[in-house]
Chain A
Amino acid sequence: MEEIYAKFVSQKISKTRWRPLPPGSLQTAETFATGSWDNEENYVSLWSIGDFGNLDSDGGFEGDHQLLCDIRHHGDVMDLQFFDQERIVTASSTGCVTVFLHHPNNQTLSVNQQWTTAHYHAGPGSPSYSSAPCTGVVCNNPEIVTVGEDGRINLFRADHKEAVRTIDNADSSTLHAVTFLRTPEILTVNSIGQLKIWDFRQQGNEPSQILSLTGDRVPLHCVDRHPNQQHVVATGGQDGMLSIWDVRQGTMPVSLLKAHEAEMWEVHFHPSNPDHLFTCSEDGSLWHWDASTDVPEKSSLFHQGGRSSTFLSHSISNQANVHQSVISSWLSTDPAKDRIEITSLLPSRSLSVNSLDVLGPCLVCGTDAEAIYVTRHLFS
């Protein structure tokens, strides 16, 4: 692991996300957004890593990340997602869901839309109104789905003032994270170790499927879906355990991997190279899980011609291979057969790594030690 840049930014970072690249673009990631937490004044900030510093020998850009713009955010930033190129959706500890708009011409952020009472314990009508933190948000243009500590699921649509659909009391415990499975279906994880699949086409407030951990009902904190295989889902739990699930089969996880020593805050499949998985945890480490089948001779053929083609052709060669290896790389229940290589990416143990994001060869993560780490050479 080379060239990971750290910068101290005077705020504890709760979320970092790369700005998505326009489809079909050949650029590498350049801009990322961060949200802070636990400050008297929290901020959503936009940072850039391109166009500064000198060119290095490879033709890539050096230098650390610079702040482009920021805007005050009420409450902790509990979750943050890019809705599209210009808009960012955030979930707040005050129960508010906000859409920020980035104006590239004068480099400012402004509030585009807000749903202030998205999550609450006692409703706005009642005398003892109390808000509940919104814990997770996921976008699929034009829809936004949010979940919170009140066990509520909201479906919003951009530019609609009210929620399109609300499932009250969807869960009796806290919903920690949400992700889309297929478009009308979402999957939520909660603090009693259950995955629930909800189908918005159906009326009624019951999940269409419930999966849960065997043994202790350890709270699950994060979830991510495999980019190509929509039935494969990875979750991270409070005991640092990584679980891989196949939602088509059975109600229990397919594999359980002992990972971190404390809560796993985020898990991400690499979007273009899904044999690689990344997790970060309260114990201050960030791990890179490499389940790609080891074919050193084959990959050497593709090492010419620049970095981006290397892993692109690597994944093509995987698919051209026996179909089994692609399917079973994460679903394999025999850890001895398909070796998973695990690397720790951060140079030294720090306070909790709260968030990470990967896009192409770039990785960004934020910690409670008020530092942001960026690397542009994940696979070298």
Chain B
Amino acid sequence: MEELDGEPAVTVIPGVNSKKNQMCFDWGPGEMLVCETSFSKKEKSEMVPSCPFIYIIRKDVDVYSQILRKLFNESHGIFLGLQRIDEELTGKSRKSQLVRVSKNYRSVIRACMEEMHQVAIAAKDPASGRQFSSQVSILSAMELIWNLCEILFIEVAPAGHLLLHLLDWVRLHVCEVDSLSADVLGSENPSNHGSFWNLPGNTQTLTELELKWQHWHEECERYLQDSTFATNPHLESLLKIMLGDEAALLEQKELLSNWYHFLVTRLLYSNPTVKPIDLHYYAQSSLDLFLGGESSPEPLDNILLAAFEFDIHQVIKECSIALSNWWFVAHLTDLLDHCKLLQSHNLYFGSNMREFLLLEYASGLFAHPSLWQLGVDYFDYCPKLGRVSLELHIERIPLNTEQKALKVLRICEQRQMTEQVRSICKILAMKAVRNNRLGSALSWSIRAKDAAFATLVSDRFLRDYCERGCFSDLDLIDNLGPAMMLSDRLTFLGKYREFHHMYGEKRFADAASLLLSLMTSRIAPRSFWMTLLTDALPLLEQKQVIFSAEQTYELMQCLEDLTSRRPVRGESDIQQLQDEDIETTKVEMLRLALARNLARAIIREGSLEGS
């Protein structure tokens, strides 16, 4: 465990007297639950805690900001586009694509900044106005850092181009001094400036540029030596500035809003063809000179310094500490990883830095009631631990409507997470059964291909039939279709309804053989056999003989099977005796009917046709 870089912040829980009573807490994925206990710090404990609330503490409030949500959603699209960039692309085309992605991210940050700025201006009370303004400055700092990283790490601007990019970078972020800096930069020798910066499409090499610049620099020095402008102190200080004299530049400190502005201006006049690896010398000295020992560097300054030193890991580490949300570091690290700039040094639980940050970010999204859908795609692109994390998170999303459940199921099915599909469908099916929505329950068990649950639902139907004598939800049972094959019990249910239909259409022979096959094939549950045999009664009592002798023997077999297994009753109460009476009567009637049918069947089969 590393040392803490700063003191941890203290959050006071309202309503809890932490001096008197102890608090307990539990960690969640992105939040913490805290409440007061009845254990007091003194010896005797009070029975009732004074504060009756449980508090949820969130560290990441950004996720709940309306405007930042747009950042999360838009950057999600950019992230996906980046992952899908063809791995085959190399060289210039790949670099230009990566630069475009970086610019997209930055434009999204800027759009957010703009909107937040508008809201800050329009804010009714000063407290929220200040909060929005501080958010704007955080976003602005993020964009500043990202832009610098883009120039140094992604664009990888060579000497010459480097300063151009840095000039743009400063110009973009120091816009209020833009007009003034133009004066400082451009008055003397404008034509020289014009031709000097004609770099794009220019065929001059770096050496040619250096020579030209040296020549110009020496000319300026000569003017200074000759005291050409000695009469005009302003022009002389201007000349000194153009020669890159640090003291002269520092005299204009009010015009230079910060040290990196000073750095770039200094580079412009003293070493415009600076090479990237030399930057950090100038950066460190510029920072020291600018601050002049009066103030100490702020976190932002340290981050920028680390960037100038090409220490990517330090940049990411400092940003992680300084920012409250993982969004920035996760996306920046992912982009830099695509530029193949991060060595894969493993963190202590085995994944690399990019994956670690993405996992943290995505977990934070899952803690939000709505943004979890974005988190899914981030987990997809974490090769080591993404799938496992997704499996754990997705089961815990609260499902209050079927539509949300369908979306979650679709996510699981697309990733072949069959376990999760089963468990979610089972939960929903149980809920449906409890609410007496048997059709819904069946539809969930069909989706999960859960034969056991389908059997449960069918048993429910059959039980209802036994109790009430008729089926509820005939629209479902009569229209099962191929779903009937999911479980034996369900097939039985469908076939039984078919039997009813045949009987209703007076197709007695077919009905009879169906009924028999239901019993002999053993798909009918034993508890239902009595009902089936009772259903056979009217068929046995018909004028014409329906059951053949063979079939009658089989029916008798089933009846004997059923009655032989019945346990012998000892002492029993009146209700049981009555039930037994009914049972015995039924069995008697069946035996009689079967015997009669057998007789008629034998006679009919033994006679000649037509006689």
Binding site for B on A (CB under 8 A): 8-12, 37-40, 76, 78, 93, 121-122, 130, 132-133, 135, 149-151, 171-174, 190-194, 196, 207, 210, 212-217, 219, 238, 262-263, 282, 348, 350-352, 368-371
CA–CA, A151 to B69, complex, Å?
Answer: 36
Most buried by A among B437, B442, B472: B437
A149 in contact with B437 (CB, 8 Å): yes
Question: Is B548 an interface residue, CB under 8 A from the partner?
Answer: no
B369 in contact with A39 (CB, 8 Å): yes
Most buried by A among B70, B73, B400, B403: B403
CA–CA, A272 to B58, complex, Å?
Answer: 51
List residues of chain A with CB within 8 A of the CB of B479.
192, 194, 210, 212, 217
A10 in contact with B437 (CB, 8 Å): no
List residues of chain B with CB within 8 A of the CB of A151.
437, 439-440
Annotate B382-401 by CB proximity to A: 1 below 8 A, 0 otherwise. Answer: 00000000000000000011
List residues of chain B with CB within 8 A of the CB of A40.
369
List residues of chain B with CB within 8 A of the CB of A370.
69-70, 73
A172 in contact with B435 (CB, 8 Å): no
A121 in contact with B481 (CB, 8 Å): no
Question: Is B43 an interface residue, CB under 8 A from the partner?
Answer: no
Q: A271: shortest Cβ distance to chain B, in Å?
A: 25
List residues of chain B with CB within 8 A of the CB of A214.
481
Instruction: Pick the interface stretch among B97-105, B314-322, B404-412, B587-595.
Output: B404-412
List residues of chain B with CB within 8 A of the CB of A174.
402, 437, 439-440, 443
Q: A173: shortest Cβ distance to chain B, in Å?
A: 3
B400 in contact with A133 (CB, 8 Å): yes
Q: B3: shortest Cβ distance to chain A, in Å?
A: 38
List residues of chain B with CB within 8 A of the CB of A76.
400-401, 403-404
- 18 example contacts (A-B, Cβ-Cβ < 8 A) are as follows A8-B73, A93-B401, A150-B435, A151-B437, A172-B476, A173-B440, A174-B439, A191-B402, A191-B443, A213-B481, A215-B481, A216-B483, A217-B481, A217-B482, A282-B407, A352-B407, A368-B373, A370-B70
Question: Is B67 an interface residue, CB under 8 A from the partner?
Answer: yes
Instruction: Write the chain B residue with the least CB distance to A7.
Output: B70
List residues of chain A with CB within 8 A of the CB of B480.
217
List residues of chain A with CB within 8 A of the CB of B443.
173-174, 191-192, 217, 219
Q: Would A369 and B73 be within 8 Å (CB), given that A172-B440, A173-B476 are in contact?
A: yes
CA–CA, A289 to B171, complex, Å?
Answer: 50
A263 in contact with B406 (CB, 8 Å): yes
Instruction: Write the chain B residue with the least CB distance to A151.
Output: B437
Q: Would A369 and B77 be within 8 Å (CB), given that A122-B435, A219-B443, A263-B406 are in contact?
A: yes
List residues of chain A with CB within 8 A of the CB of B74.
8
CA–CA, A122 to B73, complex, Å?
Answer: 39
Q: Would A371 and B439 be within 8 Å (CB), given that A172-B476, A217-B479, A217-B483 are in contact?
A: no
Instruction: Write the chain A residue with the least CB distance to B65.
Output: A10
List residues of chain A with CB within 8 A of the CB of B407.
282, 352, 368
B403 in contact with A217 (CB, 8 Å): no
Q: B236: shortest Cβ distance to chain A, in Å?
A: 51
Most buried by B among A135, A219, A238, A351: A351
CA–CA, A170 to B62, complex, Å?
Answer: 46
List residues of chain A with CB within 8 A of the CB of B473.
172
Instruction: Write the chain A residue with the least CB distance to B372.
Output: A38
CA–CA, A370 to B365, complex, Å?
Answer: 14
Q: A230: shortest Cβ distance to chain B, in Å?
A: 24
Most buried by A among B73, B369, B446, B472: B73
CA–CA, A219 to B479, complex, Å?
Answer: 13
Question: Is B475 an interface residue, CB under 8 A from the partner?
Answer: yes
A149 in contact with B402 (CB, 8 Å): yes
B370 in contact with A12 (CB, 8 Å): yes
A149 in contact with B73 (CB, 8 Å): no
Q: B439 is contacted by which of A12, A78, A191 (Cβ under 8 Å)? A: A191
Instruction: Write the chain A residue with the least CB distance to B461.
Output: A172
Q: B452: shortest Cβ distance to chain A, in Å?
A: 19
Question: Is B438 an interface residue, CB under 8 A from the partner?
Answer: yes
CA–CA, A238 to B405, complex, Å?
Answer: 13
A149 in contact with B373 (CB, 8 Å): no
B436 in contact with A121 (CB, 8 Å): yes
List residues of chain B with CB within 8 A of the CB of A350.
77
